[in-house]
């Protein structure tokens, strides 16, 4: 990574324009009308990539210093696939109040905040409170980026297997950041029968060990469809399995799924159900890995989502903007839809622009666009 100027500064006149005295005119214009920063600074095209290093990839709590390579990589992807400038910010605190206060104080320098690799359940409170405090997009990619791409792949998988969202039974293993967001976006897309599981089984309100976030999740999912019990009991007859938990699902449990089952086993580097096993019992299989077909990869979502939000100076990223992004991704597969092709490649040049356009239009419909 490097910071690169967008205009030349090699003459006296250019220096006077870029710095002093010329820059003072821009400062005065923004002081008189702060919205001018959208036109005369890099702020509206720049996202802060913020982490505390507590949930980095599959490595866990490795701290802010060790998290920096991932945040740098994220910034590179923002630029490559969305034309968005990203600044990695690794915070030397895990305290919720300190993280929120720090990000709020930094916010004037950025057009949006991308929260990254912050452990659950703290990440939920941090995101919710930052959304309430700021008038710029706040997006936790581990939650929502994963959810958008999962929904896009599922839309096409349901189409291929002749299912409707309303009639599909889904099991999600993992009640952390990604599992919660996936459940919510599937509900928004019309799926009604969802059971989310953790290490102790289905997250339902008859359990006495639920955290507040899991209690709220239970009320939205298992409580609505009467699901209870173990992971194996949830699997029996399920149409779709979505894994965002790690661990391994025994093959005898996988074998109890419905005919033409759909399995998205997304743990890295070891999927919850190895594709070789999954293919014996499912029609469509996806993972989070690049060496198997149907990779559920967040890079399909977050650059285009921020690009679209920035293009209309959106004040937030709404649920319908995320669903619109998923629908745009799904539509790119088109007539090429097949068991091994339910989601486009990150290198498809149509991805970023299509997602950005869909997100910008949804922002206008939701009334969060400012241009």
* Same domain assignment for residues 157 and 242: yes
Q: What is the CATH number of the domain that holds 114?
A: 3.40.50.10380
**77 in a structural domain:** yes
Number of compact structural domains in the chain:
2
* Residue-number span of the structural domain to which 63 is assigned: 42-136
* Same domain assignment for residues 193 and 128: no
Confidence of residue 241 (pLDDT cuts 50, 70, 90): very high
The domain boundary residue, chosen from 270, 287, 304? 287
Q: The dihedral of CA 277, 330, 352, 107: what is its sign?
A: negative
Measured at the CA of 178, the angle between CA 320 and CA 100, to 5 degrees, comes to 80
- Per the CB < 8 A criterion, the answer to whether 113 and 288 are in contact is no
**303 in a structural domain:** no
Question: Mind listing the pLDDT tens digit for each residue in 328-364?
Answer: 999 999 999 999 999 999 999 999 999 999 999 999 9
Confidence of residue 121 (pLDDT cuts 50, 70, 90): confident
Q: Which residues are annotated as a binding site for (S)-malate?
A: 268, 297
Confidence of residue 120 (pLDDT cuts 50, 70, 90): confident
* Same domain assignment for residues 192 and 256: yes
Give me the pLDDT at residue 237, please. 96
Residue 204 — φ and ψ, nearest 5°? -135, 155
**266 in a structural domain:** yes
User: Which one from 12, 19, 184, 322 is the annotated catalytic residue?
Assistant: 19
Examine the pLDDT at 65 and tell me if it is beyond 90: yes
H or E element, residue 232: helix 231-235
Give the integer Cα–Cα distance in Å for 223 and 133.
32
Q: pTM for this structure?
A: 0.92
Report the share of the chain in percent with pLDDT over 70: 100
The 3-state secondary structure of 9-36 reads: CCCHHHHHHHCCCHHHHHHHHHHHCHHH
* Same domain assignment for residues 126 and 148: no
User: Which one from 40, 74, 200, 214 is the annotated catalytic residue?
Assistant: 74
Residue 175 — φ and ψ, nearest 5°? -110, 30
User: What's the whole-number mean pLDDT along residues 18-22?
Assistant: 89
**192 in a structural domain:** yes
User: What's the whole-number mean pLDDT along residues 135-142?
Assistant: 94
* Same domain assignment for residues 192 and 102: no
Question: Mind listing the pLDDT tens digit for each residue in 40-60?
Answer: 999 999 999 999 999 998 788
* Same domain assignment for residues 94 and 148: no
Query: Helices marked H in 162-207 — which ranges?
Result: 177-188
| Cis amide leading into 21 (omega within 30) | yes
pLDDT, mean over the chain? 94
Residue 241 among the catalytic residues? no
**245 in a structural domain:** yes
Q: Which residues are annotated as a binding site for a divalent metal cation?
A: 116-117, 142
Residue 74 among the catalytic residues? yes
The pairing of strands 112-115 and 138-140 is parallel
The domain boundary residue, chosen from 287, 320, 348? 287
Q: What is the CATH number of the domain that holds 265?
A: 3.40.50.720
Q: Which residues are annotated as a binding site?
A: 116-117, 142, 268, 297
Q: 246 or 344, which is more confident?
A: 344
Give me the pLDDT at residue 90, please. 98
* Same domain assignment for residues 113 and 153: no
* Same domain assignment for residues 99 and 214: no
**161 in a structural domain:** yes
Question: Mind listing the pLDDT tens digit for each residue in 211-222?
Answer: 888 999 999 999
What one-character-per-residue DSSP string does 315-359 give?
S---HHHHHHHHHHHHHHHGGG-BTTBSS--TT-TTHHHHHHHHH
Confidence of residue 259 (pLDDT cuts 50, 70, 90): very high
The domain boundary residue, chosen from 136, 158, 179? 136
216: CB partners within 8 A, 6+ apart: none
* Same domain assignment for residues 229 and 269: yes
- Per the CB < 8 A criterion, the answer to whether 197 and 223 are in contact is no
* Same domain assignment for residues 81 and 156: no
**166 in a structural domain:** yes
Q: Among candidates 155, 164, 157, which has minimal Cα distance to 340?
A: 157
Give the integer Cα–Cα distance in Å for 222 and 171.
10
What one-character-per-residue DSSP string does 55-86 give?
SBTTTBS-HHHHHHHHHHHHHHHHHHHH--EE
* Same domain assignment for residues 199 and 275: yes
Q: The dihedral of CA 269, 302, 37, 26: what is its sign?
A: positive
- The token pair that represents 308 in the structure block: 């679209």
Examine the pLDDT at 246 and tell me if it is beyond 80: no
Beta-bridge partner residues of 198: 201
**306 in a structural domain:** no
* Same domain assignment for residues 151 and 132: no
């Amino acid at each position: 990574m490097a910071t690169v100027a967008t205009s030349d500064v090699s003459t006296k006149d250019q220096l006077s324009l870029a710095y002093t005295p010329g820059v003072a005119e821009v400062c005065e214009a923004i002081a008189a009308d702060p919205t001018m920063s959208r036109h005369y600074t890099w702020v509206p095209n720049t996202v802060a990539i913020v982490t505390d290093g507590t949930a980095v990839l599959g490595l866990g709590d490795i701290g802010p210093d060790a998290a920096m390579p991932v945040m740098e990589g994220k910034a590179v992807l923002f630029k490559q696939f969305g034309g968005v400038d990203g600044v990695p910010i690794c915070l030397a605190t895990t305290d919720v109040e300190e993280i929120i206060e720090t990000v709020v104080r930094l916010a004037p320098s950025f057009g949006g905040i991308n929260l990254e690799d912050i452990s659950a359940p703290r990440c939920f409170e941090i995101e919710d409170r930052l959304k309430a405090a700021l008038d710029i997009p706040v997006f936790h990619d581990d939650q929502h980026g994963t959810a958008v791409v999962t929904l896009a792949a599922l839309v096409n998988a349901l189409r291929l297997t002749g299912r409707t969202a309303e009639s599909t039974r889904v099991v999600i293993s993992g009640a952390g950041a990604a599992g919660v967001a996936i459940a919510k976006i599937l509900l928004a897309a019309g799926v009604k029968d969802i059971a989310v599981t953790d290490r102790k089984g289905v997250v339902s309100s008859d359990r006495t060990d639920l955290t507040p976030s899991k209690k709220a999740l239970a009320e939205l999912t298992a409580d609505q469809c009467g699901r209870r019990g173990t992971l194996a009991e949830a699997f029996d007859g399920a149409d779709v399995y979505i894994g965002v938990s790690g661990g391994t699902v025994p093959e005898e449990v996988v074998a109890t799924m419905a005919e033409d089952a759909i399995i998205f086993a997304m743990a890295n580097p070891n999927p919850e159900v190895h594709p070789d096993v999954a293919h014996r019992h499912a029609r469509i299989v996806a993972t989070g890995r690049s060496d198997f077909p149907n990779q559920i990869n967040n890079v399909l979502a977050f650059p285009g989502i921020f690009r679209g939000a920035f293009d209309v100076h959106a004040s937030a990223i709404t649920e319908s903007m995320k669903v619109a992004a998923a629908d745009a991704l799904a539509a790119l597969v088109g007539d090429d839809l097949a068991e091994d092709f339910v989601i486009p490649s990150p290198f498809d040049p149509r991805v970023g622009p299509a997602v950005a356009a869909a997100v910008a239009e949804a922002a206008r419909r939701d009334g969060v666009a400012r241009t």
